[in-house]
Amino acid sequence: MPEIDTGDTAWVLISAALVMLMTPGVAFFYGGLVRSKNVAGTIMQCFAILGVVSIVWVLWGYSLAFGPDQGQLIGDLSWFGLRNVSFDTPDPFGYAPTIPHQAYMIFQLMFAVITPALIVGAFAGRAKFSTFLIFTVIWVTVVYAPVAHWVWGNDGWLGSFGGHVKAFDFAGGTVVHINAGVAALAAALVFGKRIGFGKVPFQPHNVFMVVLGAVLLWFGWFGFNAGSAVAAGGLATNAFVVTHIATAASAITWAFISWIHMGKPSVVGTATGAVAGLVAITPASGFIGSWPAADGYLNTMPAILIGVGAGLFCYLAVQLRIKLSLDDSLDVWGVHGIGGTWGAFATGLFAVTALSGGAAGLIELQADQMWRQLVGIGAVWVWSFTLTFIILKVLDMTLGVRVSEEDEIMGLDISQHGEPAYVFEEVGPLAVPQSPASPPPTPPPAPPGASGSEGS
């Protein structure tokens, strides 16, 4: 049995904490994009996922995704409730041979948490909270856990860890981003359009929150990608560097495209471009670099190209979504579905033998990896869309997935949680504290034309 390495253990635990921070990052990012009447509801959905999925994962989710299995599709329940998941010895399959098994489990837990949190953006402002909780439990169990097993689990059929296809996904381009992005597409179709969609503007209510969320995601993503090396060393360093480079390239690309297309560089668009770059570099971050030798200049080029492609393709996907009048509220499909697809495909272009452990991409004049990547992309697209659509349709026919029209107009903050995100104090003479002996102040006259009614 290999000895536990304290440095590797510390790095993976820190990375798990960084990935955990990404879920609040998603909450802020989405919270800033929605209207003010849905801020608390959107943040609550992400926060609730953090609790619900954590319990699902330690009870049965981790065992289904990574546990011993009788085939290549899903694990069994040998590790139910973390039975035989040790805190002081490595896992028996060699997922992470230098850290405790529970350290690897908690790291993977944070991936399972953030994936359904991404889907929240597809139906922002119209989901019934009670049904949403049930959907989350079912989706993580039926959709996420099998895909995680295919790609990362013991003898999973898609993955490089003993699988037949050997599709590369270092940190979750297919497991997390294609999975969530395609599920968002199915969710947008089942939920239908928001009231007033295409007739009234749905502007982000707080650009500051959007940028704050993007920064938290960028920061946490270093744990997401570099942490997936499950060891402190050169591979983690490479993943860290290419993650940052691709993200910067994508943010700049989106800013310039929006500048050309709309006449001004969009703040929200630039933040969205950064997220698209983070998504696209995720599957490739452990397989690109050191091309054709350990040369820093050449090392940066694949990462830059992946980032530029992410900014371009995801921007075009968002424009296509608008043209098709599809109400994926916060463009989860365009950013995560298409960004993850481009990243998985680009991994087949730029993977190098020095990091992949054997197979390589077109950059080394080998084409075999391309079809493997396409098989992985296609399998997750079909699985995620089909299963998500069925789950939501059944829930809609039985419990209803969408709030009533009255509740949607009121906003989720009040209709689902009874708490507005913002409470504004009155200012002016009426708000000045008065002594008991003082007469109440005379209110100022209403301005001409004032109706006294409050807008939506």
Q: Rounded to whole angstroms, how far apart are CA atoms 116 and 176?
A: 9
pLDDT tens track for 169-211: 999 999 999 999 999 999 999 999 999 998 888 999 999 999 9
> Partners of 402 in the beta sheet?
127
Which distant-in-sequence residues (6+ apart) come within 8 Å of 245 by Cβ? 300, 303, 304, 307
**Residue of 441 and 448 predicted with greater confidence:** 441
Closest CA to 117 of 220, 192, 240: 220
* pLDDT at residue 281, as a whole number: 97
pTM of the entire structure?
0.90
pLDDT band at 241 (very low <50, low <70, confident <90, very high): very high
Classify 127 as helix, strand or coil.
strand
The 10 Å Cβ neighbour count of residue 72 is 18
* pLDDT at residue 357, as a whole number: 65
Quick one: what percent of the chain has pLDDT higher than 70? 87
- DSSP characters for 64-93? HHHS--SSSS---STTGGGTT--SSS--TT
For the segment 148-172, the average pLDDT, to the nearest whole number, is 86
Task: Name all domains of the chain by residue range, CATH numbers in brackets.
Answer: 6-409 (1.10.3430.10)
The 10 Å Cβ neighbour count of residue 89 is 15
* pLDDT at residue 365, as a whole number: 61
